[in-house]
Structure 1
């Protein structure tokens, strides 16, 4: 019997990451039975993408219980805007259903606690799709730690870079509003915090951070005109906008495909949504989040993380070092070679024993999104975890909660100029309002 899936939030990620593989690669064992969204035009987009599967039933945002009653899903997939995740996660768990959710699991520590409590009271369980865990280099790092090559982990240095193409994309979309995304310390950085939590096997306990809006917003130094309400596809100042000019030819016939818009054509002045456009000006005064962070994070078994992220750099990737009582590990990744204006090497891992000679570890790289992690994650989601893997890799509600709480602690520390504990964030102390 096929396992039945319903999707809450018909986003581009929902269509590409979940609907497509359910309807194709895993069609023999999986079935898509319901779609829920606030915008009926997103159902039209689904039908355009998958014309041979138009019989899937659709529901508005307030019809979750009706959808479950009529379609009887085994699993609910939550893939809409970040601030909608908590309500559908908790509603599904109250119906004793399993839930697969996009990261971040939710947007606040308080909602994280509510989800964990709902899971404890439910027969269902939560899986958070942290696909970065599945990248071959990242799994090899996990294996090196488990093999004891580093000994007890004492400190981690992680510096993450987003280029002017990818980094600016968050400021064109709803992510730029903290109420909807939690800010990028939650929406994006939870990926990175989860990796460190998973690699080290430790939980964060306290955060101190600085952050700023350096590149985007009305005061951005490269803003060609202080004027709100502009859209990239109709803006009169694109020739004077360095961010737009870098990635678009004047003829508009040559452009870098936008990985967040998928099959949409951003050149068009209209989009297949009722009241949303993902091409808003990156210099709009609506933006109320940061684009730069530097944080120090303490863990429950003594490890210390020195972390930074920047959303407007010349190239994309990260630099990682993990130190332990027996040695050190280093790796550098250039994430998008096609967008990097210089030759980039194949990523390797350098291992330095505390006493001994350096060892360079080569990893078999794979095709697919997120460093080759997406195809492996999908197999685990829709076929069950690989029984031959000697460690857990799928993320649960607790993993999701600690990554979100770390991201919120970063933002609270920026706001309040003080250390913030993970405990107070999960308990909902301090709140969001300034």
Structure 2
């Protein structure tokens, strides 16, 4: 019998990351029985993309109970705007249904706690789709740390770089409003916080951070004119906007916005979705979230992390160092090499023993999105977690909660100018048992 899925939030990610593989790869054991969204135009986009599945039942945003009653799904896929996640996750858990949710699991620590409390009394379980864990290079780092290659982890240096194409896209869309996304320390950095807590098998305890809005907003140095309400598609100063002209050749005479998520119609048609523009001006004065962070994080096992992220840089990637009592791991990755204006090497891991010679570790890379991680994640979700790995990798609600809490602690520390405890963010749930233990434990 096929497992029945319903999708809440018919986003580009919902269609590309979940619906497409269900319809094309996992059709033998999975089927989508219902869609829920506030915008009927998204149902039309779904039908156009998957015409052989156009008869799937559709429901409005407030019709969750009817959708479940009518279609009897086994699992709810939550992939809408970040602030909507908590509603559909808790509604599913109250009905003892399993949940697969896009990251971040929620936008606030309070909502993360609501999910934890709901899961505690439910027969259903939550999976958070942290695909960065599944990148081959990241799994090898996990193995090396778990094997004791560097001994007890003492500190981590993680510097993440988002290029001007990707970084500006967040400020064109709903992500730029903290009420919807939690800010980028939640929407984006939860990926990074989850990776670190999984690698070192420790939970974040306290965060102190600085942050600023350096590039975007009305005071951005590259703002060609101080005027609110512009859109890339119709802007009369777009040729003077470095962020637009960098990624839009002059030969494209028809104004087409930088459509990071491929959400728009063709250049000659209107937008695909109702009342949604992913090309809002990145220099609007209403932008309030930060685009630059540095943070110090203390972990439950004594490790300390120095973290930074910047959303407007010449190239995309990260630098990582993990230090331990027996040595150090280093790696450098360039994301999106097609957008990087110089040749980039294949990523490797350098191991430096505390006393001895450097060793360079090569990893077999895989095809697929997010550095080859997406196909492996999808197999674990739709076929069951691979039991041959020496560690757990599929993440759950506890993992999702800690990553959200770390992200909220970052922006709250920036705002309040003080250290923020994870226990306070989670409302007293900061001493939860980790779900990241190795299989051997």
Structure 2 unaligned regions, length at least 5: 430-441
SS at match of 2:347: coil
**Paired residues for 1:82-93 under 5 Å:** 82-93=82-93
1:251, distance to aligned residue in structure 2 (A): 2.3
1:265, distance to aligned residue in structure 2 (A): 4.5
Match of 2:290 in 1: 290
Change (3 A) 1:252 1:328: same
- Distance in 2 of aligned mates of 1:209 and 1:94: 36
- Distance in 2 of aligned mates of 1:54 and 1:337: 36
Q: Structure 1 residue 55 and structure 2 residue 49: aligned?
A: no
Match of 1:197 in 2: 197
1:234, distance to aligned residue in structure 2 (A): 1.0
Match of 1:360 in 2: 360
Aligned pairs, number? 429
Q: Structure 1 residue 343 and structure 2 residue 343: aligned?
A: yes
CA contact (8 A) 1:413 1:420 kept: yes
**Paired residues for 1:124-135 under 5 Å:** 124-135=124-135
Match of 1:157 in 2: 157
Q: Structure 1 residue 403 and structure 2 residue 419: aligned?
A: no
CA contact (8 A) 2:81 2:180 kept: yes
Residue deviations 1:297-335 (CA, integer Å, cap 9, x gap): 000110000000000000000000000011100000001
Structure 1 unaligned regions, length at least 5: 430-434
Please give the root-mean-square deviation of Cα atoms over the aligned residues, in Å.
Answer: 1.6
- Distance in 2 of aligned mates of 1:242 and 1:184: 22
CA contact (8 A) 1:110 1:428 kept: no
Match of 2:213 in 1: 213
TM-score by length of 1: 0.97
Match of 1:175 in 2: 175
- 72-81 or 267-276: which moved more? 267-276
**Paired residues for 1:56-135 under 5 Å:** 56-135=56-135
SS at match of 1:162: strand
Q: Structure 1 residue 42 and structure 2 residue 42: aligned?
A: yes
Change (3 A) 1:142 1:256: farther
TM-score by length of 2: 0.95
CA contact (8 A) 2:102 2:129 kept: yes
- Distance in 1 of aligned mates of 2:259 and 2:75: 27
1:46, distance to aligned residue in structure 2 (A): 0.4
Q: Structure 1 residue 28 and structure 2 residue 60: aligned?
A: no
Change (3 A) 1:274 1:23: same
Residue deviations 1:97-147 (CA, integer Å, cap 9, x gap): 000000000000001111001001000000000000000000000000111
SS at match of 1:165: helix
- Distance in 2 of aligned mates of 1:151 and 1:107: 35
SS at match of 1:351: strand
Could you list the runs of 4 or more consecutive aligned residues of structure 1 that deviate by over 6 angstroms after TM superposition?
253-259
- Distance in 2 of aligned mates of 1:183 and 1:102: 16
Match of 1:374 in 2: 374
- Distance in 2 of aligned mates of 1:257 and 1:344: 28
CA contact (8 A) 1:164 1:313 kept: yes
Match of 2:145 in 1: 145
Match of 1:432 in 2: none
SS at match of 1:305: strand
1:255, distance to aligned residue in structure 2 (A): 11
- Distance in 2 of aligned mates of 1:377 and 1:45: 25
Match of 2:331 in 1: 331
- Distance in 1 of aligned mates of 2:269 and 2:53: 28
- Distance in 2 of aligned mates of 1:266 and 1:197: 42
- Distance in 2 of aligned mates of 1:265 and 1:151: 53
Q: Structure 1 residue 424 and structure 2 residue 424: aligned?
A: yes
SS at match of 2:62: coil
1:256, distance to aligned residue in structure 2 (A): 11
**Paired residues for 1:294-309 under 5 Å:** 294-309=294-309
CA contact (8 A) 2:259 2:279 kept: no
- 320-329 or 365-374: which moved more? 365-374
SS at match of 2:44: helix
Residue deviations 1:369-395 (CA, integer Å, cap 9, x gap): 111100110111111111211211000
- Distance in 2 of aligned mates of 1:317 and 1:254: 32
CA contact (8 A) 2:35 2:58 kept: yes
SS at match of 1:77: strand
CA contact (8 A) 1:41 1:274 kept: yes
